[in-house]
Structure 1
Amino acid sequence: MRSRPALPFPHPALAFWRMALALWLSLIAAFPLLAEESARPLPSGVYLPLPVHLSIRVLNVSRINETLGEASMMIEVTERWTNPGEAFDPKITGFNRFDYVGQEATDRLAAMWTPGTEIENQISEPRTQSTALTLRADGTVTRIRRLDADFRVGIDMTTFPFDQQRLTLSMVSPRYPAEQMIYVMNDIDRELSAIEKDISATNWTAHALDVVMERFHGWNARPFVRVLATATVERDWQYFVLPIFVPFLAVMSVSIFILWAKVSLIGDKAPITYSALLALAALSFTYESSFPGSISMNSPIAFMVSLGYFYLILVLLLDIVLIYANYPGKARYSHLEPAIRATIRFSVPAVFALICFSAALRAMA
């Protein structure tokens, strides 16, 4: 039986699977190298878990975007740990410590073990970044990183413009679980962790920085330690009284004219009311463009504006009912109409003002 001659080229499907297998084997071969680059072995001669002291300083808050939930901050993160492999004899070297700055520090850190701390809610590459490194004779390693970047933060506008915002930075080491490495803070670390009082964000005042640690479970349900540094900043509400509340009160004063003025003085009251409604709608758009989030994020001023629409319509309806509606008992008890009108003139605006004042007072508390 004659054998079939071999094809000069392999079948296309067979060539594809050979290429896929070769690529897979190359990835398997390269994976240990990638793993070694991302997670170096822990320093030898230390008790596990290896403690890493951490402190953080918020040097500046330059921008807070309420609608996007972003904050631009300049921060400084200081980490300190002990690596016996980096110890040296000061009698031989003549120095008790070595300091490295900039690219020299980055190159030196690339050749040694680091905790691999990452800021989870950082959303942009740093605009500026600098690194400093100190090695002491006993093997103590201190790394200081200063960076200016954007971070994803939680924004709560339910008390605008009397609000305080808590800008939280979440730091974690995804390489090492809690049984290998943990973050610790002593009194010195907590004293160093602070926020500068003078920040450049417009109409904001810095208050305090709180640092807490929590444990969470990552891959394969292994426990990890997360550091949460929360900077509390307060809005300077005094700057918002004139541009927010004075125009609102001016629009709402139309209701006083509707309830108190005679028809012969101001004419038909319906066009005036709907003009006030349009002015209130324009005012709400002005609020949102000038103070992003003031209307769209359920703030007290948003509540007041929404209540204002209902209030103006209610005032117009009450006036129409008292003048034109033939409700039961109107002819028989005609002497009560002036008393009802006098009561409504005072009570309805007073109730509306009391509700608005209570909403503002609750936000300030």
Structure 2
Amino acid sequence: MTMVPLRPFLVCLASLLALFAFVTAGLAAPPLPRDKGLPITVQAGASVLSIESFDENTGTYRATVDLRLRWNDSRLAAPADAGGAPPETLRGSAAEARMKDIWIPPVRIANQTGEALRSEYGLRIYPSGRAELLHRVTADFTVGVDVQRFPFDRQKLTIEIAADTLTTAEMQLRFDQSDIDFSRPSANAELAGWSIGLIDLKSAPLPGWYNGSHARIVAALDIKRQPGLVVASIFIPLLASLLIPLLAIWLNSMEDGVFQVDTYEMVNIIIGGLFAVIALNFTVYSSYTVLSVGDNTVNRLFALNYIGLASALFVNILFSRFNVIARLFGPYVQEQAYVTLMWTIPTLILVLATAFMLAAYV
């Protein structure tokens, strides 16, 4: 009995299976609707149903959103005598089964991170060949956070609708007034500590290979921080700590060019203030890690605190401990110079602190 060599047989079988899989995949994936030419226009919009959380330290938020896509495909059109028929409406598993038989725009939410906690589909096909796909998804999304105007800042919770497998020469994402009307937050959408605004749609193509580009639409939900609790817990202690270096200057007095309070006591106040500011610094940055990087109101006020403490220490050592001005120019000049600094330093600190707060608010 003649034996067939096993290895060539397995190689031939694997090749046949691969060819079958390739042909099956080609049949299972409907081609692009090219009857009206390229690029295919797909209208896109997104609405926010609910927001569960927003972590500005990690730059992520969890929400339930509806992604809507609309396009025309003449292969889906009904016969002419069915022009007045209602659209074919499918939901859940029925919609997913129908989606396998028709062309679906290869669109994804590009800033989604991890697996979706919930993913459901709804599909409508109109007799004219118009198709509408609704994708409801609950997931975590990444977002850029800008705290330069903290605590009066606004953030953008973005939904990036991207078609990164087709170039803009093959498919384009567009939106019109109906998509703008659809793209809005639900009346029940709430987020503790924030006021919910409107959704802005913007076209932002992605660069591709060989000077190509991929269509992308960014839906950005505007939220505004409610500053009441933040001002009470962070800014009142920060502004109060600015009084420590001022007290170290004001509590001393001078008669005939001689200071009445020992330098040691004033320096103790300044060192105590330094430890208080360091403790406040640690507490704030532990709760708001995002504030520790970049230019923002909190970092400016911390810097102003350190500068104020350094100025008070410098004044006390220079004037009270070593009497440098008195030795160089006499006690009268030292007394007048001290009085000048006693009001100049607080004025500068007050002006700068007010400017920092107004720059964040305006």
Normalising by structure 2, report the TM-score: 0.85
User: C-alpha separation between the residues in 1 aligned to 2:13 and 2:353?
Assistant: 68
User: C-alpha separation between the residues in 2 aligned to 1:273 and 1:37?
Assistant: 79
**Which deviates the most, 177-186 or 104-113?**
177-186
Matched, 1:335 2:325: no
Give the aligned partner of residue 4 of structure 1: none
Matched, 1:233 2:215: no
Give the aligned partner of residue 316 of structure 2: 319
Matched, 1:140 2:130: yes
User: C-alpha separation between the residues in 1 aligned to 2:151 and 2:238?
Assistant: 14
Give the aligned partner of residue 269 of structure 2: 272
- Assess if the C-alpha contact under 8 Å between 1:90 and 1:96 holds in 2: no
Give the aligned partner of residue 256 of structure 2: none
Q: 1:35 to 1:169 in 2, by over 3 A?
A: farther
Matched, 1:344 2:334: no
User: C-alpha separation between the residues in 1 aligned to 2:322 and 2:215?
Assistant: 70
- Assess if the C-alpha contact under 8 Å between 1:198 and 1:206 holds in 2: no
Give the aligned partner of residue 5 of structure 1: none
Matched, 1:80 2:70: yes
Give the aligned partner of residue 177 of structure 2: 187
1:273-312 to 2 correspondence within 5 Å?
Answer: 273-312=270-309
Matched, 1:117 2:131: no
Equivalent position SS for 2:204:
strand
Q: Which residue type is aligned with residue 108 of structure 2?
A: E
Q: 1:353 to 1:95 in 2, by over 3 A?
A: same
Matched, 1:36 2:26: yes
User: C-alpha separation between the residues in 1 aligned to 2:20 and 2:301?
Assistant: 62
- Assess if the C-alpha contact under 8 Å between 1:39 and 1:175 holds in 2: no
User: C-alpha separation between the residues in 2 aligned to 1:353 and 1:254?
Assistant: 13
Give the aligned partner of residue 177 of structure 1: 167
Give the aligned partner of residue 196 of structure 2: 206
Q: CA deviation at 1:271?
A: 2.1
User: C-alpha separation between the residues in 1 aligned to 2:131 and 2:52?
Assistant: 31
Q: Residues 148-199 of structure 1, C-alpha deviation per residue, up to 9 Å, x if partnerless? A: 1111111111111111112332222233322222222222122222234654
Q: 1:212 to 1:33 in 2, by over 3 A?
A: farther
Aligned match for 1:254, one of 244, 247, 262: 244
Q: CA deviation at 1:142?
A: 0.8
- Assess if the C-alpha contact under 8 Å between 2:168 and 2:214 holds in 1: yes
Give me the identity figure in percent: 23
**Which deviates the most, 108-117 or 159-168?**
159-168
Q: CA deviation at 1:302?
A: 1.5
- Assess if the C-alpha contact under 8 Å between 2:57 and 2:288 holds in 1: no
Give the aligned partner of residue 356 of structure 1: 353
User: C-alpha separation between the residues in 1 aligned to 2:64 and 2:102?
Assistant: 26
Q: Residues 195-247 of structure 1, C-alpha deviation per residue, up to 9 Å, x if partnerless? A: 34654322111222221223344244433221122222111123321111211
Q: 1:39 to 1:219 in 2, by over 3 A?
A: farther
User: C-alpha separation between the residues in 2 aligned to 1:249 and 1:349?
Assistant: 12
- Assess if the C-alpha contact under 8 Å between 1:284 and 1:295 holds in 2: no
Q: 1:304 to 1:25 in 2, by over 3 A?
A: farther
Q: Residues 136-157 of structure 1, C-alpha deviation per residue, up to 9 Å, x if partnerless? A: 1111111111111111111111
Normalising by structure 1, report the TM-score: 0.85
Q: CA deviation at 1:123?
A: 0.8
User: C-alpha separation between the residues in 2 aligned to 1:247 and 1:27?
Assistant: 72
Q: Residues 108-127 of structure 1, C-alpha deviation per residue, up to 9 Å, x if partnerless? A: 11221100111111112122
Give the aligned partner of residue 166 of structure 1: 156
Equivalent position SS for 1:123:
strand
User: C-alpha separation between the residues in 2 aligned to 1:180 and 1:235?
Assistant: 41
Q: CA RMSD in A?
A: 3.1
Q: Which residue type is aligned with residue 322 of structure 2?
A: A
